[in-house]
Amino acid sequence: MKPKILHLITSLNIGGTERNLLTILQFLKEKYDFSVVYLKERGKIAEEIEKLGIPLFKFNFFSLYKYLRKNEINILHTHLYRANILGRIVGKIVRPRQIIISSQRAIDAWKKFYHVWLDSFTAQFCDLIIANSLATKNLLCQRERISAEKIVVVYK
């Protein structure tokens, strides 16, 4: 039986994170049982995901909670700020059913102090955080006070 991975992403518009997710799905769909949940906009990437035959859903907090409780998801992998925060909180409530992984792909200079605090606070619920560069990892350690041991750098 293939491990079940739920990818939670804020939207599926065309962007770097969304394209990276599509690449992961394309190359690893034979090895893992994927499903994708988006929170806001469906976007163009959704069509490509559907062509792969991967289940795709638009959920809010409660429907995500119900889905995680009902399905035996092994890994919850979150992408982008809103999905990271929501996924970490819901994942913490549903535990111990799955591993929580968050991806941090940018410096996010737009963040205000409360965004940084919320990111930092909810990061403790993650088992692993993936950074796409050493600079991102260093920023997460310094600005958001996330333990370096929890962060793995995976270059594109």
| pLDDT tens-digit series, residues 75-96 | 999 999 999 999 999 999 987 6
What is the rounded distance in angstroms from the CA atom of residue 105 to the CA atom of residue 116? 15
Mean pLDDT of 85-112: 85
Element housing 102 (H / E): strand 99-104
- What are phi and psi for residue 134, nearest 5 degrees? -65, -35
Reported as a pLDDT band with limits 50, 70 and 90, residue 97 is low
Closest CA to 6 of 21, 17, 20, 18: 21
In the block, which residue shows the tokens 């930092």?
Answer: 120
pLDDT tens string 34-71: 999 999 999 999 999 999 999 999 999 999 999 999 99
DSSP, collapsed to helix, strand or coil, labels residue 19 as helix
Q: How many distinct helices (H) and strands (E) make up the chain? A: 6, 7
Annotated domain spans of the chain: 4-153
What is the rounded distance in angstroms from the CA atom of residue 8 to the CA atom of residue 35? 9
What is the rounded distance in angstroms from the CA atom of residue 142 to the CA atom of residue 81? 18
Mean pLDDT of 8-34: 96
Angle between helices 81-94 and 113-123 (to 10 degrees): 30
- Would you say residue 26 has pLDDT above 90? yes
Strands 99-104 and 128-131: parallel
* Answer CATH for 4-153 from 3.40.50.2000, 3.40.50.620, 3.40.50.300, 3.40.50.1820: 3.40.50.2000
What is the rounded distance in angstroms from the CA atom of residue 21 to the CA atom of residue 38? 12
